[in-house]
Each structure stands twice: as C-alpha cells, then as structure tokens.
Amino acid sequence: MPLKPRDLDLPEAPGVYLFRTDSGRVLYVGKATNIRTRVRSYFSPNPDRAMIPQLVSSSDDVDFIVTRSPNEALVLEKQLIRKHKPRYNSMFKDDKTYPFIAITKHEYPRIIYTRRPPKGSKIWGPFPDAGAAKRVIKLLRRHFGIRDERDNVPFGYEDHGGLEGYNSRVRVVQSVLDGDAASIIKGLQKNMDIASETMQYEKAASFRDMIAVIQKTISDQIIRSRFYTEVHAVGFAHRGDFGNAVIIQADEGVIQGQVTYPMIHRGDVGESVSLLVAEHYSSQRPPKILLTPKDLGSDLKKWLCERRGAAVEVRVPERGKLAKLRRLADRNAELHVERAKSRSSGKVEQQAADDAAELLGMSRLNHVVCFDMAQLLGESRVGASVVFRNGRPEKSEYRTYRVKDEAADDLRMMTGVVERWLKHQNEWPDLVILDGGKTHLSAVLRMLDSHDLAGVFPVIALAKREETVFTEDGREFVLDRKGRMIVHARDEAHRFVNSYHRKKRSKGSLRNPLENVEGLGAKKIQALLRHFGGIQGIEHASLEELRAIQGIGKELARRIHESFRKY
C-alpha cells in the first residue's frame, strides 16, 4: 500500500527521519527543523529531486528520532547515514567530519581544535558550529593558561605552579567542557559586574559574550559526549493502559539509534520498564550504563550483570548530560505513544468503514463522498461535499459550491451540485451519500442516468428522521451501530456546509475568494478568469493547471488553491 502523509503521524519537532521498508531496511535519512513539514514535502506533486518519487514508492513507513535542536539533528543525521548507508543518501565521499575539542595526553596536555582527535586524547563534540568551538578554546586557553597544539602558553600568561599546578588547571577545563561551567561563569559574571560598575561597558560586554559562548557550546553537547560509551537510555510514556517505551542507544560518544516498544501499561511505571528491560536484553548484551526512569531492583540488576558478563551500572539520573540523554528518550517515547495511539484509532475507523460496507452488502467502503446543502430564505445558497477514505475524513478533498442559478428548492440545488462535482472526478467513489430522502435519491439518479452514469457507483440517501437509509433498489432501513461511519459522514457534511454558509452570511454577500489571496492582483485575477472561464473553473483547477498561467508561481498557486477550501 503506497505511503500517504496523513497516515504517518509525525511530530512537529526538530530531529531526523528515516524512510524504511517493512523489513526494517533504511532507504533514506534526513534532518529537519520540523519533521512533519519536511516529510510532507516529499509528497508534493512537483518534488525538488528526481529520486523522491522512487524513494516514496519503495518505502513502507517513516520513522523518526526527535532531538533538542536542529544542530543536534545535523550531527545525528550524519552518524545514521554512516551506520545504515542508505541507498538514496549521498555518501560523504571526502569523509569530512565535524570538529572536536580535544585535550591531548602529553605530559603538559594541550587543548586543540581538530577534525581527527589524536589517539588517547579526551574529546568533546562534534560541534556543528565550528566558530563557537574555536572561541571556547581561545577563552579557556587565556583564562587558564592551557597550551596549544604547538605547546605554546598563551601570550602574556605567567605560568606558576609547575606540572601539578598546570594539571589542576587542565582538570578545571575538563570540568567546564563536561558541562560544569558554573565556576568560570561565576567568575566572568563577577568581572562583568565590576566592569559595568566602573563604566567600562565595552569590557562588560566582552565578558557577557564570553558567558554566552560557553553556554552555547555546552548546550550543543547532548548528541555527542565522551560519557556516552555503551550507554542506553530508557524512556517511557503511556496513555491509560497503552504504553510505549524507547531505548536510545549510544556508543563511542555517538547516539546510534533507538528501539521502540508498544506495550500494555498496568499502572506501575517501574514494573512496565522492568518488563521491557528483561525482554529487550534477553536477546542482546546489556550496555555498561543503563539509564532508566525508575529504579529496577536488585534482582534485575544482578541479571543484567550476568547477561553482560561484567558490571552494569543502572542509574536514574537527575541532572547532567546523562539526565539530558534520558529525558530525550522520554520525549521520543511521548511522541511514539501518540503516534501509536493515532494509528490504532485509524484501525478503528477502518473497521467502521468495513462494518458499513457489510451493512450495505458491499465489498468495501474505502472512498465515500457525502453531499449536503444550506440556504437561508433563498439567500446564500451553498452546497458542500466531504470525502472519507478508509473511514477517516480527508479534509484536503472537501469542496464547497455556490448555487448561482434560479434553483430555489433543495432537490434542484442538490442535483446541480452533484452534477458539477461529476465533471471534476478522476476516480469514482465506492459510495455517494445524499443528506435527504427518497425524492433526493430519485432526482440525483435521474441526473446520473442522463449522463450515462447510472450504476457506475452506488448512491444512497440518509434521512435524519430515525437515521433511515434509502437505496437504489428501493430498500429502506434504519441504521444500527454498523452504520456509524455513514452517520459520521452525513454529520461532517452538515457541519462543513453550515460552517461555510455562516462564513458567507457574515460577510453580507458571497465575495470572490480570490480578493483575499496575498500577492494576487487585478491583472492576474483577470488572466485566471479568462483562462478558466470563470470562478468555478478556477475553483476546480489543480495546482499544476494554476501554475501553467504566466505569473503564477508554486507558492501563489498553493494560496489560490487553498482560498477555495478554507472553512
């Protein structure tokens, strides 16, 4: 079954997305500031890359890992590309890497900026913002007198205390890079206050900028840290008895990926997490450090150590980098539980469609269109059609219709609207529903027969009185629970047409929707009207047809298209 963006349930958050096959193979890895918006762009009728249609047709699902910022997504994307080697990603042919800050293992350790850290050095990074990393090195060297890659002490710094004093300063610098920058920030804040009090405002601003550089650099450390050596972080979220667990796996300082587990939650988070841990690590080796939302208990900890054949440290971190990593796991678990819940509801909606098909004696009802009308004292006469696919409303396919002819009665209006709808269909639905009774059904069937479309698709009418259905073969029956999707479609059409009707009445008249389109002037409106023969032609034009008009670009075509579909 082809991928559809409405079925993916992706978060509006920064992170990476992975196009996968049913077998789990990763075909493409991408990064995004907003995952949902970025992935939806792959389903545009005019994709910006030639490989996209093939990628979409080859994929069965889109997975995601949420990060705290777009910078973190940038680093994680590169790591996942290296790990999975996806077919549709461009490989990094020059093996270019992001820069690190490294402290070497020399007798007098040196702090360096490098893309390939020396063997045995302690490293921090990688840093997508290379400039920030360089500024931090410069600041730390000046403040603590740390040697550079050429073994030079900063100019003007007087080195006292010998090797022991030097190594103590190096330990402070390591603490800052590990995220404990409170001491240096406190000192800089004090210097900033003194400079400000003595009206040395440029100097005060310099100290302020130093503090900002340190804080920014520290904030970039969640995706890669030298602490993340064989660390797994467990996140958990639930909605009632429906739970979802996520295990983020990090090794050699880099987040490698995540595993998700939908599960039944019985009310105790510790118990649910313990069951998950026992299940997951029964088939693979536990890590050195396991981060969990609740303590696991001595028996399970002992079992983990036996499975690993070495010590396993189980932590419930409250602060620091490991706590940030575990909170990231919770964030992903929250998003996955919402996604799983939404997909589960999709199954319920499909079941409702299948029940309705069985009730009507049809093989399927995966594509349903329902019509309704609205008018007030003969004024502001409008109609609407709503579409349900697989039991779910497909709002992008909703349409509204203005009744311009002299048809004052509901029957003629309904027939006219359905007739206009016919002219713009590329596929016929499994069922058309009319909000009305026998007379509505008879009038529409006569119109279909006049166009040689009788019997091409089934039509029923649904009267509000006792929810009575009228069919083409003369049957009449009251809907039971199996007809809930039919009632839902009728109620949605009624809501939609009345919403549209109220909007038009509140304006005092049925205005031209093109008047409110940003960037669409009088000349372009005239060009559209001439090309399509009137407002109705523009209303039913596709994006491709709109873009064919000179002066109408991709974004303007989208705004024109949407102006007829707002409600």
Residue 4's pLDDT is: 77
Among 419-428, 495-504, 510-519, where is mean pLDDT lowest?
510-519
Whether the predicted pLDDT of 519 surpasses 70? yes
Whether the predicted pLDDT of 428 surpasses 90? yes
As given in the structure block, the two tokens for residue 432 are 């058309």
Domain boundaries for CATH 3.40.1440.10 within the chain: 5-84
CATH (residue range 5-84): 3.40.1440.10
pLDDT band at 95 (very low <50, low <70, confident <90, very high): very low
Strand, helix or coil for residue 7: helix
Residue 98's pLDDT is: 63
Assess if CATH 3.30.420.340 describes domain 367-506: yes
Residue 239's pLDDT is: 81
Q: Are strands 231-239 and 242-251 parallel, antiparallel or unpaired?
A: antiparallel
Q: Which CATH class is domain 513-563?
A: mainly alpha
Pick from 73, 136, 142, 69: nearest CA to 99: 136
Mean pLDDT of the chain: 81
Condensed to tens digits (0 to 9), the pLDDT of residues 340-362 reads 766 665 567 788 899 899 999 99
The DSSP code for 147 is B
Q: Name residue, tokens 């497909």.
A: 394
Residue 92's pLDDT is: 40
Contact by Cβ (8 Å): 14, 67: yes
Residue 225 burial class via C-beta count within 10 angstroms: exposed 0-12, middle 13-18, buried 19 and up = buried
pLDDT band at 512 (very low <50, low <70, confident <90, very high): low
**Superfamily holding 231-339:** UvrC, RNAse H endonuclease domain (3.30.420.340)
Condensed to tens digits (0 to 9), the pLDDT of residues 32-54 reads 889 999 998 888 887 767 778 88
| Other beta carbons less than 10 A from residue 512's beta carbon | 13
Residue 347's pLDDT is: 66
Q: How many residues does the chain have?
A: 567
| Other beta carbons less than 10 A from residue 52's beta carbon | 17
- Quickly list DSSP for 305-374: HHHHTS--EEE---SSHHHHHHHHHHHHHHHHHHHHHHHHHHHHHHHHHHHHHHHHT-S--SEEEEEEEE
Q: What are the start-end ranges of the H helices in 178-310? A: 182-197, 201-219, 269-280, 298-308
Condensed to tens digits (0 to 9), the pLDDT of residues 214-261 reads 676 565 544 455 555 688 999 998 887 678 888 988 775 667 777 887
Pick from 136, 137, 157, 135: nearest CA to 145: 157
Residue 472's pLDDT is: 93
Residue 217's pLDDT is: 56
Contact by Cβ (8 Å): 459, 432: yes
Whether the predicted pLDDT of 307 surpasses 80? yes
Whether the predicted pLDDT of 565 surpasses 60? yes
d(CA 539, CA 560): 8
d(CA 164, CA 179): 23
pLDDT band at 567 (very low <50, low <70, confident <90, very high): very low
Residue 185's pLDDT is: 79
Residue 253's pLDDT is: 60
Residue 91's pLDDT is: 47
Segment 58-65 shows an average pLDDT of 89
Segment 257-266 shows an average pLDDT of 75
Among 156-170, 487-501, 513-527, where is mean pLDDT lowest?
513-527
What percent of the residues of the chain are helix, what percent strand, and what percent coil, each to the nearest 5? 45, 20, 35
Identity of the highest mean pLDDT range in 149-163, 173-187, 260-274: 149-163
Q: Name residue, tokens 């594509």.
A: 367
pLDDT band at 17 (very low <50, low <70, confident <90, very high): very high
Distance from chain centroid for Cα 245: 19
Residue 104's pLDDT is: 94
Domain boundaries for CATH 3.30.420.340 within the chain: 231-339, 367-506
Residue 90's pLDDT is: 56
d(CA 541, CA 384): 17
Condensed to tens digits (0 to 9), the pLDDT of residues 127-139 reads 666 777 788 788 8
Confirm whether pTM is higher than 0.75: no
